[in-house]
Structure 1
Amino acid sequence: MPHDLSPASTPLDTSPSPPRFPARAPGTIETALTILAYFALQAGFGGAFGGTSQFIARTFPNAVPDQPDRLIVVVILTLLCAAGVVVTWIVRRWAAKTVDGGAGGLGFTAPSGRYVAIGTALGILAPLLGGLLTQFLAGDHDVSQTVTDIADRAHVGMRVALLPVVVVVGPLVEELLFRGALLSVLRTRLGDNWAIAISAIVFGAVHLPDLDWLWYAVPNLILVGVFCAWLRVRSGSIWPGFVAHAANNALAAAGWFMAT
């Protein structure tokens, strides 16, 4: 007796599916906590590495470099560790938004050569204009940063070792924080113009401790923040702002060697 043949059933796919990340933009509270965490991590790692440096110096006084050079090592390790933790967290937390160049994304998109050139020009212009502005506001007062004070007293080789951290690592993590996550939050809630202004002010204000709380040095950093945020909005990419930030820091770091 013939039997009807039932159609062959499709085998079940039991292979593990790739992880799916929520396509969500950075949130206000998360972004604020992430920025605070970056500076808290700097304090924590700085204290740990600084204490270790002092212990080694007391235990083996003839086997370690002088204090300015040891401080350079502490600064390098501190910034590398803090930046590594924060960048990893942001990229994993908002993975689906990293390559989004829109208002709610982090902007890890390929920039056009035009905006890279503009970013380079603004990065060179920012310290010139900012220096004049700071000089006008500060009058006869001296303005310096903690890293600059340390570098000025260190050996040339240690200054060279510090350069990649100041010119590449620092701008990268700060662009990701302020022109990536923070600007994204502000753009989706307040629009581009307010987002540029507020993110630049926050960027300048958080550097006050490193400036020994000298307020008249902050407008210079606000100007850098405006340039970088404008580049992020207009180009749809975080990289032109990074180029501007790196060029600004490179010109500032050049003073370490001129002082020698």
Structure 2
Amino acid sequence: MSSGTKQSRSTSSVNRAGLAGGIVVALGVCAVLPIDPAAPARTAVVAVLVAALIVAAAVLRSPAALRTAAFVGPLFGCFAVGILADWPPALTTVLVCVLPLACLLLVGRWAGVAPAAPWLARGRLTPEAPWLGLATVLFGGVALVAWALAVRPEPAEYLRDLQRLPLWLAILGIVGFALVNPVWEEMLFRGVLLSELATVWGARAAVLLQAVLFGAAHHAGFPSGTVGMVMAGTWGLALGVLRLRSGGILVPYLVHVTANAVIGTVAVLILR
């Protein structure tokens, strides 16, 4: 084989990796775009884009892009239908925690796409994991208190609903939300996006990009705006490191649950 042929094949592999990574990132962007019931046309445009990206992944025949498409497509569909049809939030949340993973595992039965979800593992508790997790939770809690006291934001509707309940019942509701919501977030960001980007662009780029997308997804969260995006992105970076070090999503999931419980409790107490 001539050196020119080898170089051509190498260039082709690099181009395919670049295209595959671009599809994965684009699908990640579509997954974090907010769905506004007052703007169904915008959601329809994003749905067309998601469909086009799924077709592109199939044409490219990239396992990383196909696995991402198999997860993000149903995820976006569940959110879009649930929000636009005004389904109960609990029903939508259950669907996004179950259906995307089921579709990914089904697609992963094809030899060309397997393994479907190697990240779906307990992993191991590394020596630095407890300290990094504790630092993440404490930093997030302190930063949140400082932000809430400085800005005094208007509580979101679900927080106002919780504030009407007795404190113990409100905290119970927060814990329930903290246990469920991180399921789909960890599967998307530390599972699918981090793993698939790592296969095409390397672990460092993958950790950084999933953190950026995680931050963007929290633009309208608590805290919100640019500050909220930066805080959530920093948090996502730490969770990404925990995911790589532990080898599974259990450790980042547990840290995510703890941080969400702390954030929700602080929000209810401060914004009363």
- TM interval, short-chain normalised: 0.5 to 0.7
Deviation at 1:92, TM superposition (A): 3.4
Q: Name the TM-score, length of structure 2 as normaliser.
A: 0.61
Q: Name the counterpart of 2:29.
A: none
Q: Name the counterpart of 2:100.
A: 86
Letter in 2 for 1:222: G
Ranked by relative contact order (alpha carbons within 8 Å, sequence separation 6 or more), the top structure is: 1
Instruction: Give the 3 Å change call, closer, same or farther, for CA 143–40 of structure 1 in structure 2.
Output: farther
Q: Alignment RMSD, CA only?
A: 3.6
Counterpart of 1:239 (choices 243, 250, 266) is 250
Query: Which structure would you say has the larger Rg?
Result: 1
For 1:25 and 1:160, locate their aligned partners in 2 and report how far apart those are by CA, in whole Å. Answer: 44
User: Contact conserved, 2:219 with 2:229, CA < 8 A, in 1?
Assistant: yes
Q: Name the counterpart of 1:45.
A: 82
Q: Name the counterpart of 2:68.
A: 31
User: Contact conserved, 1:120 with 1:247, CA < 8 A, in 2?
Assistant: no
For 1:220 and 1:212, locate their aligned partners in 2 and report how far apart those are by CA, in whole Å. Answer: 8
Deviation at 1:27, TM superposition (A): 2.1
Deviation at 1:185, TM superposition (A): 1.5
Instruction: Give the 3 Å change call, closer, same or farther, for CA 194–134 of structure 1 in structure 2.
Output: farther
Unmatched 5+ stretches in structure 1: 1-23, 51-73, 101-105
For 2:229 and 2:100, locate their aligned partners in 1 and report how far apart those are by CA, in whole Å. Answer: 24
Deviation at 1:226, TM superposition (A): 0.5
Deviation at 1:87, TM superposition (A): 2.7
Per-residue displacement from partner, 1:27-65 (whole Å, max 9, x unpaired)? 236526733642442242244454xxxxxxxxxxxxxxx
For 1:49 and 1:241, locate their aligned partners in 2 and report how far apart those are by CA, in whole Å. Answer: 31
Instruction: Give the 3 Å change call, closer, same or farther, for CA 115–94 of structure 1 in structure 2.
Output: farther
Instruction: Give the 3 Å change call, closer, same or farther, for CA 185–127 of structure 1 in structure 2.
Output: same
Q: Name the counterpart of 1:183.
A: 194
Q: Name the counterpart of 2:125.
A: 112
Counterpart of 1:148 (choices 138, 159, 166) is 159
Deviation at 1:224, TM superposition (A): 1.5
Q: Name the counterpart of 1:121.
A: 134
1:1-260 aligned at under 5 Å gives the runs 27-28=64-65, 30-31=67-68, 34-35=71-72, 37-50=74-87, 74-94=88-108, 97=115, 100=118, 106-112=119-125, 114=127, 117-118=130-131, 120-128=133-141, 130-131=143-144, 134=147, 140=151, 142=153, 144-145=155-156, 147-153=158-164, 159=170, 162-163=173-174, 165-210=176-221, 214-255=225-266, 258=269
Q: Which has the higher helix share?
A: 2
Q: Name the counterpart of 1:53.
A: none
Letter in 1 for 2:94: L
Per-residue displacement from partner, 1:125-180 (whole Å, max 9, x unpaired)? 24135427856xx9646275554344334566864664354212211211111111
Q: Name the TM-score, length of structure 1 as normaliser.
A: 0.64
Percent identical residues: 20
Deviation at 1:247, TM superposition (A): 0.9
Deviation at 1:81, TM superposition (A): 2.2
How many residue pairs get aligned? The number is: 207
